[in-house]
Structures are given as structure tokens and as C-alpha cells.
Amino acid sequence: MDDSDGSNERRVKAVHALTSVNEPTFINELADYIREQYCLEGLQALQGDYREAEGALDTILRISVWKASLLSCGPGLTVGTGVAIKHPETFAIGERAFIGRGVNLQGRYDGRCIIGDGVWIGPDCFFDARDLTIEDQVGIGPGVRILGSEHTAQPISQPIIETDLLIKPVRIARWADIGTGATLLPGITVGQGAIVGAGAVVTKDVPDFAVVAGVPAVFLHWREGFQGDAGSK
């Protein structure tokens, strides 16, 4: 229905956030069976077998292989085609998580990635997930980049790509929303209920319920209904 002021905007109910878990009961049993039959390398090969498949049975097998590979996983996981994950054994994923087509999740053998309940990750995102926490009910738009490490660039006598890596934790608190094409730099924390605008490059922490945008991202205002402290932005 059009707004009363004549605009063409429409307000409709959210879909993902209000969807209940509807997962066949046998998926966990199938995941347990797959885990018993395959080593880590075998599970990785199975992921490749079902990565691009779109049929109903292939989708069930893809989800089951993921569940068998992950450190932990709640019910209702959705994984689109073309998703790549490195070191899935370091990922803990909650209930009703959605991972869109073509997402690339780069874990590390000694790392940790936590993805909370109800998280929605849009297509074609890239996450350096070696020390990444995404809390419950976070929305992440298509094409978002989350960077979790950087080279020391020292000593200067070496190519930068040969210098040591600094892995810095990235945290996105519950209810936050990261706009399409945004980039989060290593060590960033995005606060509860904060909004990061499309295309923003976040170079410093974002306070709870703040709205930021731009390159580099700057504070615009507090979300409506939140009485923030202007000195904390």
C-alpha cells in the first residue's frame, strides 16, 4: 500500500528474521553418519561435490555435509550455491543462519568464528574469519568485506606480503546491520543495533545504535528512539 503522502514506498513484513525453524529431523542423523565415515579431508572433498548443486536432494546433502564439518551448528541452516569455507571445524553457527550464494569464509586452523542465531549473510561476501564474532540477528548485505588481519610491513627490507600477519578480532554485536558493499577493517567492533551504510569503510569502532556511512565511515546520527551520548561517537 502506498504511503498517504503519495510516495511509492511500501512497508512489508520481514521474512528471514520471522521465519521459524523448519528442518527435516533426519538431517542431524545424516550429518552424524557423514562425520563418522569421513576424515576432515574427505569432508572438504564432499563440500566441493555439492557446492554448486541446486536440486532439493543436493541441498539437503550440502547442509548435512556442512553440519558434519562445523564445530557446532544449530537447526535451520541455509547455505547457497558456490559458498566456500576454509577450516569449517573452527566455525560455530547458531539457529536459522542464512549464508547467501558465493560467500567466501576464510577460517584458520587455530582460529575461531562464531555466527549467532538468525544471522543473514548476503551473496558474494568475503569474511576473514580467523577471529570473528557475529552475534544474534545481524543482517549483512551483499558484497560486504570483513578483514581480520594485516601485514606488519616490517622490516622494510622485505616485501610486505612476506612480513608477519597481525590477526585482530572483529566483533559485530547483536541486531546490527551492515549495508551492501561495506568494508570492516581489522580490529573493528560494531555496536548493538548499529547501522553501517552501504559502501562504507569502517576504520574505527561503531557505538551501539549509531548510524555511520562514508569513506572512511563517520557518525551521522543516533537511531530514532535512542538517546545517545554525543561525546561517545
Q: Report the 10 Å Cβ neighbour count for 221.
A: 12
**Average pLDDT, stretch 36-40?**
90
In the predicted structure, residue 5 carries a pLDDT above the cut 70:
no
pLDDT of residue 180: 98
Who has greater pLDDT, 15 or 47? 47
Rg of the chain taking only CA atoms, in angstroms? 19
In the predicted structure, residue 86 carries a pLDDT above the cut 60:
yes
In the predicted structure, residue 83 carries a pLDDT above the cut 80:
yes
- Residue of 16, 87, 151, 221 marked active site: 151
Among 107, 104, 150, 110, residue whose Cα is nearest residue 123: 104
How many Å apart are CA 232 and CA 226, to the nearest integer? 13
In the predicted structure, residue 3 carries a pLDDT above the cut 60:
no
- Longest Cα–Cα distance of the chain, Å, equals 66
The model carries a pTM of 0.89
188 to each of 93, 165, 167, how far by Cα in Å?
A: 21, 16, 12
pLDDT of residue 1: 44
**Average pLDDT, stretch 201-211?**
97
Q: Which domains does the chain have, with CATH numbers?
A: 23-69 (no CATH), 75-222 (2.160.10.10)
**Average pLDDT, stretch 21-46?**
89
Mean of the per-residue pLDDT values of the chain: 91
In the predicted structure, residue 231 carries a pLDDT above the cut 60:
no
Structure confidence by residue, pLDDT tens digits, 99-125:
999 999 999 999 999 999 999 999 999
Q: Is 221 a catalytic residue?
A: no
